[in-house]
Amino acid sequence: MEDAYARSASEVLEFFSVDPTRGLTDFQVAEHGRSYGKNVLPQEKSTPFWRLVLKQFDDLLVKILIVAAVVSFLLALANGETGLSAFLEPSVILMILAANAAVGVITETNAEKALEELRAYQADVATVLRNGCFSILPAPDLVPGDIVEVSVGCKIPADMRMIEMLTDQLRVDQAILTGESCSVEKELDATNVTNAVYQDKTNILFSGTVVVSGRARAVVVGVGSNTAMGNIRDSMLNTEDEATPLKKKLDEFGTFLAKVIAGICILVWIVNIGHFRDPAHGGFLRGAIHYFKIAVALAVAAIPEGLPAVVTTCLALGTKRMARLNAIVRSLPSVETLGCTTVICSDKTGTLTTNMMSVSKVSVLHSANVVPVVAEYTVSGTTYAPEGTISDSRTDVQLGLPANFHCLLHTAMCSALCNESVIQYNPDKRSYEKIGESTEVALRVLAEKIGLPGFDSMPSALNMLSKHERASYCNRYWENQFKKISVLEFTRDRKMMSVLCNRKQIQIMFSKGAPESILPRCTNIMCNDDGSTVHLTSEIRAEIESKFHSFAGNETLRCLALALKRMPLGQQALSFDDEKDLTFIGLVGMLDPPRAEVRDAILSCMTAGIRVIVVTGDNKTTAESLCRRIGAFDHLDDFSGLSYTASEFEKLPATQKTMALQKMTIFTRVEPSHKRMLVESLQHQNEVVAMTGDGVNDAPALKKADIGIAMGSGTAVAKSASDMVLSDDNFATIVAAVAEGRAIYNNTKQFIRYMISSNIGEVVCIFVAALLGIPDTLVPVQLLWVNLVTDGLPATAIGFNKPDSDVMKAKPRKVNEAVVSGWLFFRYLVIGVYVGLATIAGFVWWFLYSDNGPKLSYTELVNFDTCSTRETSYSCNVFSDKHPSTVSMTVLVVVEMFNALNNLSENQSLLVIPPWSNLWLLGSILLTMLLHVLILYVAPLSALFSVAPLSWSEWTVVLYLSFPVIIIDEILKFFSRSSRGTSFNLRLRRMDLLPKQEVYAK
């Protein structure tokens, strides 16, 4: 029944044909069970493991690698190779792909846990009226029409319509669903609000929420998927994960690379068709296979096999650094996404605020004989910890012993005695926790901050207690001093609560409640300076009311008034008639305070070009007041045009919605569907959205956002749906994580460029060798070794480059920004061409000039394939010597080590950022060279990689050919720093290595 909130209780009961005094019959239960289903969230079919594994290979770059591995294996078999040499290359490629697939499968399974966690918020049992009798039944057995009784501490078992109040009021904590900071009072009357959101449905008890006070009966109107929790589940199921900006760029790169590889391979094959019949190949077919093998070698050279592994490793290293910042990353790609975040949609309660109601202001009568007559005190401390000070608001002087002031002392007494809540210390979480109403807990904490009278060493004495004892030490003192005799519970019409206490033959009634209820019942008022009681004159009453309106209006504090009355000795019970002729003690104003560090964090976001939108289920006035209190929005005169409720936003025409989204700062009275809608709308405007949240209600939006950020103290559902969890629940941590994300992306960009320029060199080497007609410069297994080890280790170490000092002063990069484009592409093309030519030069040098070589002429070298058909002064076996390819491979390795040093910075010279600024890079270069020396000089390995030991003269030539890459890049960096580099960038802006895509389909 979807509109139960708009119908009267009798209409709902009639709809389900249920008698509220007897409940459903067994026959009706069976009928309703068949019609509406069971009260459980359906078990969602999990994706089969084999399907998850196959999904990881549904990537163009991965498919190219698989094809290369299979072709390599078939060619090896066609050439008669057996054993390790035939399987080495395809095996290594497949091992890399398997490792990356494993990471992907783990990430996929994490996403499905969110749906499982949602079931934890379903109640286990319910007190149900059936056949005229109450019984406790499993919650899954509930059906629509069941009459259920709920009381304090009960978890609501299904969506239910209130039909009877068994106490004066019923309050429910539904923060996990709506994000409201305070518990909500429920009522019986029908709601006539158009387009009602969850907050407007005040007669509905939502599944999974908790009763914090009162007792009532309700009729079940929704079970299983037809509940508020069920709607959240459906929303999460319908939300597809967005590809991260880097993933999109790598996908584009894969598509681009596939075209380039296919084109080059076909071109090389076609260019050499005339050589298919050369006698050296033993026939046309074998010649075709030989040059096809060269084409495959080109494919291996062009594909950066180590790129997926290096990206994963670098992001994993980033997650460790972020963990030290209290940001626990659950999804590796989200590390990079942080770097281009343009909008942070921040939940208010618990993220910008502490989610702990605390008293911030106390107002009392100073003295009837002075001006101003009203004294105001500021209370510090924003958590449930009994830590904080009380200061005079006018002079800003801290009170050393607050309990020595009479009104403050009686405020502490009333706060401790007129109270049903509990505060305790949780040693596991190392924090203070509440049991009961947050407003009552705030009063308990206030009593602890005021302390006890008569002890000069009171503050230090309290600090010597253990945290467990300190939690309620002062409250317990007053509870032991006063014996509670009778209690008048809070009622909606009175809006107050009273308790009768006895102490040393004196009976006192303490009262607390809404100021508009307490003040009219007061005839006297207590003076703070001497403890005397004076008549509450109209002038003093006006002062108190003015202070109340100031607290509740401008400062949007939740206000309570405290009062007392001397009662006749021996009275054992209270009546409503006793609540008159009271003595006013004081006025307390409380709020869910903003975190102290939030202001600077939001200002940092603004400096970095990141917009913050405050999203909350609370009302508009409360949210706007919080933003003013934070201080980060002081530059805004007012919030008109910047602050919208969900219903206001939905009523806007499409064009105005677009404009509103570009300026919006506050979004209030939202429910889960609105949060998800906000994320989607921003994404359609090409924004990269980070969404924070902690409740079940936040899960769909967290999953939909480019990066979902859950609070460490939040619900398990929110954490499972998120990409990152803040262990300290602190908005400021997000800003630190964004800075880290930007630094990680910059480093990621550097090593991607490094690997691409290296692969360009390998392609140039093989392509030019094929065009010149010289023997195979490098064999596929050597290329594979260079791509995985030689490129992989330094590329990973580049991830440790120190971040730029102004990383948070730059605007977020655009989503469609190419990783390598324009002038940079030209730079790395130049570097790549040099790497390729230097590699070929080493190969040619050995044949033509090396003392250990045959010293052939260039003509003899390019006609090597006809050696067996003509007379020569040298053996044809010289062309199968391992030394020339070893020199080439070594030049390729060493030149790339120097090129790795070039990538310490995109544009800064090595004279400014020296190599030792990244010791990890120097270590990786040293390790790479040791591994290379190992395969050169250890017999089994040298045979496996078709290499031979090099002499000192050969190493000298290698260094001569390799070092110039540093000089070339220093020149290119110089142009990058000059206006000429800028002009190149303008002329070559269309030359993107990774093609741009202006708008991504969301």
Which run of H or E residues covers position 67?
helix 60-78
DSSP letter, residue 840: H
Which residues contact residue 655 at a Cβ distance below 8 angstroms, ignoring those fewer than 6 apart? none
What residues does 19 pair with on adjacent strands? 23
731 contacts 598 by C-beta, under 8 angstroms: yes
Please tell me the distance from the alpha carbon of residue 489 to that of residue 168, in angstroms, as a whole number. Answer: 8
Residue entry with tokens 């005079």: 392
820 contacts 828 by C-beta, under 8 angstroms: yes
Please tell me the distance from the alpha carbon of residue 421 to that of residue 512, in angstroms, as a whole number. Answer: 14
Backbone angles phi, psi at 173, to 5 degrees: -90, 105
CA atoms within 13 A on the CB side of 812: 27
362 contacts 411 by C-beta, under 8 angstroms: yes
Residue entry with tokens 């509103």: 660
Which residues contact residue 491 at a Cβ distance below 8 angstroms, ignoring those fewer than 6 apart? 168, 169
717 contacts 703 by C-beta, under 8 angstroms: no
Sign of CA dihedral 472, 478, 483, 487: negative
Please tell me the distance from the alpha carbon of residue 440 to that of residue 446, in angstroms, as a whole number. Answer: 10
What residues does 614 pair with on adjacent strands? 346, 666
| Closest among 911, 910, 884 to 899, alpha carbons compared | 910
Please tell me the distance from the alpha carbon of residue 572 to that of residue 67, in angstroms, as a whole number. Answer: 90
| Closest among 603, 225, 210 to 435, alpha carbons compared | 210
Please tell me the distance from the alpha carbon of residue 936 to that of residue 955, in angstroms, as a whole number. Answer: 12
Question: E-strand spans in 191-317?
Answer: 204-205, 210-213, 215-222
Please tell me the distance from the alpha carbon of residue 981 to that of residue 1001, in angstroms, as a whole number. Answer: 33
Please list the active-site residues: 347
Residues in the chain: 1002
Look up residue 269 and give its two tokens.
């094959």
Which residues contact residue 893 at a Cβ distance below 8 angstroms, ignoring those fewer than 6 apart? 786, 790, 928, 929, 932
Which residues contact residue 276 at a Cβ distance below 8 angstroms, ignoring those fewer than 6 apart? 284, 287, 288, 291
User: Helix/strand/coil (H, E, C) string of 649-683?
Assistant: HHHCCHHHHHHHHHHCCEEECCCHHHHHHHHHHHH
What residues does 215 pair with on adjacent strands? 151
218 contacts 160 by C-beta, under 8 angstroms: yes
304 contacts 759 by C-beta, under 8 angstroms: yes
Q: Is 822 helix (H, G, I), strand (E, B) or coil?
A: helix
446 contacts 435 by C-beta, under 8 angstroms: no
* Greatest CA separation for the chain: 132
60 contacts 251 by C-beta, under 8 angstroms: yes
Residue burial 383-395, b: 16+ Cβ < 10 Å; e: rest: bbbbbbebbeeee
Which run of H or E residues covers position 433?
strand 431-435
What residues does 562 pair with on adjacent strands? 512, 586
Which run of H or E residues covers position 378?
strand 374-379
Please tell me the distance from the alpha carbon of residue 399 to that of residue 415, in angstroms, as a whole number. Answer: 19
